[in-house]
Structure 1
Amino acid sequence: MKLGLDVFFERKIQEFKGKRIGLVTNMTGVNHRLVPTIDLFHGHPDIQLSALFAPEHGIRGDAKEGEKLDSFIDPYTKVPVYSLYGTSKKPSIEMLDSVDVIFFDLQDIGARYYTFIYTMAYVMEACAEHGKHFVVLDRPNPISGSLMEGNLVKKDVRSFVGLYPLPNRHGMTVGEIALLYKHEFGIHCDLTVIPMEGWERDMYYDQTGLFWVPPSPNTTGMDMSILYPGTCLVEGTNLSEGRGTTRPFEFIGSPYIDGYRLAKVFNEKSLPGVLARPISFIPTYQKHKDTVCEGVQLHVVDRHSLNSFKTGLTLIETIAEMYHNDFEFLEHSNGKFFFDLLAGTKDLRARILSGDTKTFLEECEEELHAFSKQKQPYLLYN
C-alpha cells in the first residue's frame, strides 16, 4: 500500500511547486521507509518549507499529555515551529503569513478523544478565514475503518477531547474526517485530500506492512489502540489507566482494588473478545504515583468481536458497584467532570452509578446508525 505522502511525491508534487509550504506533523509523519516528512519536504528542491506546526506531544513527540508547548526554531531545519498546543490551539494570521498551503501529515489513533483531529479542525478553520489551501496526506485508521462504537458528543460538553459529534470509535481516516468537517460541520476551507492506495477499510495497522511509530508516549501498540476507545474513559475517574506503566490503557487499577476479585467478577460477564488478568503495578507518574495498585490487565482475545467501548464501560461500572465507597469521578474545573468531556454526555455518569449502562449502549446503536449514514458520502476506501 501507499500512504498519501507517497502518492504526493509520486504524482502531486508539481502542483505545489513555488508555493510556500506549512506542515502540521510530528514523529509519525514518515514514509514507508521511515524517512520523516519534515526531511522529505525540507530536502526537496521543488518544496519551499517555510513553517512547521506542532500538535499535542510536540513535533518530536517528547511532551507528555496535556503539557503546553512553546514555539521555537527547529534545530535541524532552522524552520520555525509554531505550537498548536500552547497559548492557542488555532494558527494566528502571523503564523500563516509565511505560507500559501498547509499540509497535514499525522497518524491518528481512531478514537475521538485523540486531539490531532481537532488540531486539524482548527487549522482548517484558520485556512478558511485567511484564504490558505489545506492538504491532508491521508494515513490509515490503525484500528480499521469498518467498526464504530459509542455515542455522539452532545453540544454542552464539547471540548478538545470531543469537539464535534463523532462516536468514540469513528472508523474514519483523517482525510475522511476532513471531508466530514467541510461538508457537514461547516469548515469551508479550500481542501484537498490525497488518499492512500491499497488500504482497505477492514485493515488494522499491523496488516498494512508499515512500521508503527507511536503517536504519543502512551500509544504502545495494537492492543492498547484497540482498547483505547473504551479504556480512555478511565481517565475521568480516580482509577489509574496505567499511565506510568509499560501497558497504559491495558492496565486498570487502584490502591483500593482486589485484583483477583475484580478479574473474577469481570470475566464472569463473558464479554466477547476480551479476558481480564489480575495484576499489581506501581505507576511512575500521574494518578497513584509510586503507590501499589491492584487491578486487571485487559487482554484482547479476538479484536473482531471485541467492543472496546462496551468493555471499558462495563469495567468501570463493575468497579463502581464493587467499590462504591471508594470509586469517584474526578472534577475537572468549575464543577465540571472530565469524564463528561470524554464520554461526550453528562448522562453516562449517573447511568454507571445506577448500574444502567445496558440501556445507554442500546441508545448508542441509534446514534451510530445515524452517523454511519452521515459519513457515508465522505468515505474514500472500499
Structure 2
Amino acid sequence: MRLTFDEPLGQKIFKIQSMAFLNSLKSTFFIWFLLLIACGNQTKAEKTQSKPAVAMNDSVKVKPVVVAANRTEAYLPLLKGKKVGIVGNQTTIIFKDEVKDAPLPYVHLVDSLLAHHVDIKKVFAPEHGFRGRADAGEKVKDGVDNKTGLPLISLYGKNRKPSAEQLEDIDIVLFDIQDVGVRFYTYIATLQLVMEACAEQNVPIIVLDRPNPNGAYIDGPTMKKEHSGFLGMTEIPLVYGMTIGEYARMINEEKWLGSGVKADLTVIPLENWTYDTPYSIPVRPSPNLPNDTAINLYPSLGLFEGTNINAGRGTELQFQCYGASFLDSTQYSFKYTPMPNFGSKSPKENGKTCFGKDLSGFPKMNEVSLQWLIDAYTNTLDKSKFFNTKGFTAHAGTETLQKQIEQGINEEEIKATWQSDIDKFKKIRKKYLMYL
C-alpha cells in the first residue's frame, strides 16, 4: 500500500486567515498587536513545516497483479472445440477472491478448465512432477492424475521432449508454469523442448505468463554453447531478467529451436506488473524453494549444487544456509545436520554436522553474489572435496568460474569478466520485453 499525503498548509493558511482578520480591524493598536502574534506563530510554523499536517486521501489502492491464467477471456476462446494438452505443475493455478468452502484462495487451472468443459486430453509434467513432490533430479514416471483421471506424461523421465506420438491427438498445447528467472532452473528448458516439439508437429502453443520474482536484474556468467544442456540450453546469463512469456518469444524469434523451426506461439501477458513490482509466489515453485528468501538467494546459493557443499537441502532452510562437515569449524558459529525430508530424500552431508552460515535473515538482493561460494572454498580444509567439476560447469555454464575461484580471484574482478556478455544479451533481450 502506498500512502500519499498533501503538503502541510501551515504558514500559508495562517497568513490568509490573518490577513482577512486584520482587514476587518480598524484599530492600529490591534493591528500591530496581532502582527506580533503572527510573527511568533510564523516562527513556530516554519519549525514544524517538514511534518505533514493532515493526511488527506489516506491511501491509494495499488492494482493487483493479474497473472495470465486469470485472464480467461483472452485464452478460453482459443481452446474452444480443441483437444488440449496442458504443461503444468502445482503452480498452474487461478487466483480467486473467494473460493466457497475451499481452504485456499486459488484453484488449479486444470480443474478450472474442466469446469469450463475444455477438452483436456493429457497433462505433461516437468521436473518434480505434476503435483510438485519429486526431489530435484528424481525421475518422474508417467501415470494418471488421481484427482482428475487425466493421463500424465512425464517430461523428466524417459523423455524430456514430447514425442510425435504423444502430440498426435492434441490440437493445441497450453503451457503454464511459474519460473524463478534462473538459467539452471529447468522449467525454461522444458519450455524450449515443448515449443520445439510443437513446432515440429505443427501444434500451436499458448504460454500463460507469470511474474519473475528475480526479474529486476541481469547477472551471472553466460552459458557457453559447448556446455549447454538441460541446466542451460541457450547462451544467456545465469539471471536473465525476463518473464517466461518474454523468454518464449525470444526463443522463437531468435530461432533457438532445433533445426531452425518456429512455433505457432501465443503469449497471454500479465496485467499490472513491471520488473520492479514485488511479487510473492503463493505456492512453492519446487520442493526446496519454500519462501521468498530462498527464491531470492537461489541464483547465488544454487551454484553450490555443483559442489559438495550442502545448501540447506534436508533442513527447513533450503537455499537459506550452507555448510559442510569438511569446512573449518573454527570459522563458523552456525551448525546444522541435514536429514531426509520433503523434497530431499538423500541430501548432501546426510546425518553429518555441517559448519557454515545461516542466511535466512539476509536482506533482499538484486545481484548474483559469489561471497558465500568463495567463503566456503576458502574455508574448505581439503580443497579436493569442494568441486564436482562436471556439475559445477553445468550450473555455471562455463569452466572459467571454477578456475577463477581456485586461483583466488576476488568477486569484483570475477564479476567484471561477465559484463561484456551481459551487455550483448541486454541488446537482444530488449526486443522482447513486454512490461516496460
TM-score surpassing 0.5? Answer: yes
The C-alpha deviation readout for 1:230-258, integer Å capped at 9, x for no partner, is 11011111111110010111110011224
Change (3 A) 1:184 1:259: farther
What is the CA deviation profile of residues 88-126 of structure 1, one whole-angstrom value per residue up to 9, with x for unaligned ones?
Answer: 100001110121110001011111111011100000000
Q: After alignment, is 12-21 or 102-111 more displaced?
A: 12-21
Structure 2 runs not aligned, ≥5 long:
1-64, 97-105, 340-345
State the AA in 2 paired with 1:113. F
Partner of 1:205: 279
1:37 equivalenced with 2:98 (yes/no):
no
Which of 292, 300, 312 matches 2:353? 292
Paired position in structure 2 for 1:323: 380
Which deviates more from structure 2 when the two are superposed, residues 292-301 or residues 149-158? Answer: 292-301
Q: Would you say the 8 A contact 2:326–2:381 is kept in 1? A: no
Larger C-alpha radius of gyration, 1 or 2?
2
Given that 1:321 and 1:353 are in contact with CA atoms closer than 8 Å, whether structure 2 keeps it comes out as no
- Aligned match of 1:269: none
Offset of residue 324 of structure 1 = 5.1
Query: In 2, Cα distance between the equivalents of 1:164 and 1:110?
Result: 14
Please provide the CA RMSD for this pair. Answer: 1.6
**2-structure distance, mates of 1:185, 1:169:** 21
CA drift of 1:75 comes to 2.2
Distance 1:63 1:301 in 2: 28
Q: Could you say which residue in structure 1 is the equivalent of 2:424?
A: 370
CA contact (8 A) 1:139 1:174 kept: yes
Q: Which residue of 1 aligns with 2:128?
A: 57
Aligned with residue 137 of structure 2, among 58, 66, 84 = 66
Q: Is the contact made by 2:173 and 2:203 (CA closer than 8 Å) also made in structure 1? A: yes
Report how many residues are paired. Answer: 352
Task: Point out the more displaced range, 193-202 or 75-84.
Answer: 75-84
**Structure 1: 5+ residue stretches without partners:** 263-277
Residues 185 and 245 (structure 1), Cα distance of their counterparts in 2 relative to 1, 3 Å cut: farther
What letter is aligned with 1:317?
I
Q: 1:11 to 1:179 in 2, by over 3 A?
A: closer
Paired position in structure 1 for 2:25: none
Cα separation, 2, equivalents of 1:203 and 1:114: 21
Matched, 1:283 2:283: no
CA distance in 1, matches of 2:129, 2:414: 36
Report what 1:3 is aligned to: 67
TM-score (normalised: structure 1): 0.88
Post-superposition Cα deviations, 1:111-168, rounded to whole Å, max 9, x if no partner, equal 111101110000000001000001000001022x221110210011111111111211
Deviation, structure 1 residue 300: 5.3
Aligned residue number for residue 86 of structure 2: 23
SS of 1:224's partner is: helix
Give yes or no for contact 2:321–2:360 (8 Å, CA) kept in 1.
no
One-letter amino acid of the structure 2 residue matched with residue 279 of structure 1: F
Residue 289 (structure 2) aligns with: 219
Specify the SS of the correspondent of 1:40.
helix
Q: Aligned letter for 1:189?
A: A
- Measure how far apart 1:327 and its partner are: 5.5
Contact in 2 for aligned 1:236/1:329 (Cα 8 Å) = no
Superposition deviation, residue 51 in structure 1 = 1.1
1:94 equivalent in structure 2? 165
Question: Cα distance 1:179–1:11, how it changes in 2: closer, same or farther (>3 A)?
Answer: closer
Match of 1:275 in 2: none
1:381 aligns with 2:435: yes
Partners of 1:329 and 1:184 lie apart in 2 by 37
Aligned to 1:192: 266
Three-state SS of the structure 2 residue aligned to 1:50 is strand
Q: Which residue of 2 aligns with 1:48?
A: 119
* Residue aligning to 2:180: 109
Alpha-carbon contact 1:112-1:167 (below 8 Å) kept: yes
% identical equivalent positions: 35
- For 1:138 and 1:293, locate their aligned partners in 2 and report how far apart those are by CA, in whole Å: 39
Distance in structure 2 (CA, Å) of the matches to 1:325 and 1:53: 44
2:219 and 2:237 in contact (8 A); partners too? yes
